[in-house]
Amino acid sequence: MPDRRRPRPAQQRSRTAPAQRGRRGDPSRLASYTLLREVDGGAYANLELPRILRRMHLSGRDAAFATELAFGTIRWEGLYDRFIALAADRPIERVDPGLRDTLRLGAHQLFGMRVPAHAAADETVALARQVNGAGASGLVNAVMRRLSEQSRQDWVAAVVPDGLDVTARLALEQSHPDWVARALRQALLGHGAATPESVGASLEALLTADNTAAEVSLVARPGLTTVADLLARGGRPSPVSPIGVRLDGGAPGDIPEVRDGRAAVQDEGSQLLALALAAAPTQGGGPGRPRWLDLCAGPGGKAGVLAGLAADAGADLVCTEISPHRADLVRQTLRLGIEAVGERGASVVVRTADGRAVGESEPEAYERVLVDAPCTGLGALRRRPEARWRRQQSDVGALGPLQRALLTSALDATRPGGVVAYATCSPHLAETRFVVTDVLKRRDDVEVVDARPVIAEASAGRLADLGEGPSVQLWPHVHGTDGMFLSLLRKR
């Protein structure tokens, strides 16, 4: 283990005296810092960053640099805070929050990007002068110099204590809260994605995937555009979704189909859940035109896919959302879809209502129901980097009653022979299998449908390694999607 008091001589450090360095950070780094401060105040990184980039008129390589710097810093901040505390010789809690963000950005340039050490130091000191004040630049210079004197591997060895179990060590090394790493380990075992012998390697692969930026994936909304249209814009076919396209670069908002709502940025796992609900086998049929229900529709991504699929099946779609603001987002998302399905004789209705009450107010009214339940989002950590630090273990227990109530309401609202898809963007056992098991214990009118062949059909045969069934858990490190869970339930 390296000597914590006398680090090795620097291989490459700034040759510029602090007083001679620039007094303003460059716009990309300033944008990254601005995002970190907004996230610290409660903003969501994936929603706030585009606004910051537009406001600061950043595009192309500058925008890409700001995105990589900001998102990478947020992912790794737990580990970087340990580096910084040791380099600054003070607890991280005693470092001013704004200055802490500046140092985190500097650390990520040193240890997570291809920025030379002297440039990382100079630019971080310049940023500190601009946003933290001239008095902070001396500390930033000293910490950056100290950080640059050891490699990332040496710093990891210095801050990870000896004697930790495998999960605790991986949590520190891969910058995840300990409770999250342990919950994911149990999920890998509980969903049959790992054995006791292989779970250490599987957990490391999963945590590594969480720290790897996800590719930008687009969905061609059925009835509004096609995959061929998006391929013509420079995309390439999704390896898992027949209505998906991946982008290698560029801003999605520059694509006309995305700009006007015919396509959208959407994880392929989410695309597959909507396709699976449409493909799930039902029995019998009710009187009149079939009706589908998206019980927790906000902000509208899956509803944007379901609208076209429902119209193709000769069905109407109802979207319910308890939050008026999120219901408005659904309406905005479905604006073109509502017009398009209307021309085909179908309807899409968006309403503000509590999904927990739908089963009582509209019993046995729907043929297909999607419950995309509110959850901790532990399956989407690669896209929502701040979620790992914002969520608490207590959130799991707090969400449980809501998830069970929504699934119960959905089953009550489903006609005999109809299907409910219960989905979460979390693999946590308490949000997935345990919810379904608990609800089914209280009912004798529901049977479980094996979701594996349905997902396989929805993916046009592109997905493999779908587990033991009957539910399906997708994994970032296995399928290249967010960690989506799906259970299909049919009313007897």
1 belongs to a structural domain: no
**Domains in the chain, number:** 4
314 belongs to a structural domain: yes
- Residue 357, pLDDT > 70, answer yes
What's the domain range around 247?
A: 216-265
CA distance 35 to 101: 10
Residue 140 maps to which CATH number? 1.10.940.10
**Same-domain status, 147 and 188:** no
**Same-domain status, 204 and 291:** no
**Same-domain status, 411 and 424:** yes
Active-site residue, selected from the candidate residues 296, 319, 375, 425: 425
List pLDDT tens digits, range 461-485: 999 899 999 999 999 999 999 999 9
- Residue 19, pLDDT > 70, answer no
The whole-number average pLDDT for the span 236-254 is 93
DSSP class of residue 429 equals G
CA distance 60 to 202: 36
Q: Give the confidence band of 345 by pLDDT, cuts at 50, 70, 90.
A: confident
CA distance 471 to 13: 53
List pLDDT tens digits, range 149-168: 999 999 999 999 999 999 99
**Same-domain status, 413 and 374:** yes
**Same-domain status, 255 and 273:** no
CA distance 375 to 426: 7
**379 contacts: CB under 8 Å, gap ≥ 6:** 269, 424, 425, 426, 427, 474, 476, 482, 483, 484, 485
Token couple for 137: 């630049």
List pLDDT tens digits, range 256-292: 999 999 999 999 999 999 999 999 999 987 778 999 9
Provide the β-strand partners of residue 265. Answer: 218
Is-catalytic flag, 425?
A: yes
Q: Give the confidence band of 20 by pLDDT, cuts at 50, 70, 90.
A: very low
12 belongs to a structural domain: no
Neighbours of 428 (CB within 10 A): 26
Task: Tell if the pTM clears 0.75, that is, is over it.
Answer: yes
Q: Give the confidence band of 343 by pLDDT, cuts at 50, 70, 90.
A: confident
Q: Which residue has the higher pLDDT, 285 or 203?
A: 203
**Same-domain status, 251 and 287:** no
**Same-domain status, 133 and 172:** no
Q: Which residue has the higher pLDDT, 35 or 2?
A: 35
Q: Give the confidence band of 92 by pLDDT, cuts at 50, 70, 90.
A: very high
Question: By CB neighbour count within 10 A (0-12 exposed, 13-18 middle, 19+ buried), where does 106 fall?
Answer: buried
Residue 269 and residue 219 in contact, taking contact as beta carbons nearer than 8 Å: no
439 belongs to a structural domain: yes
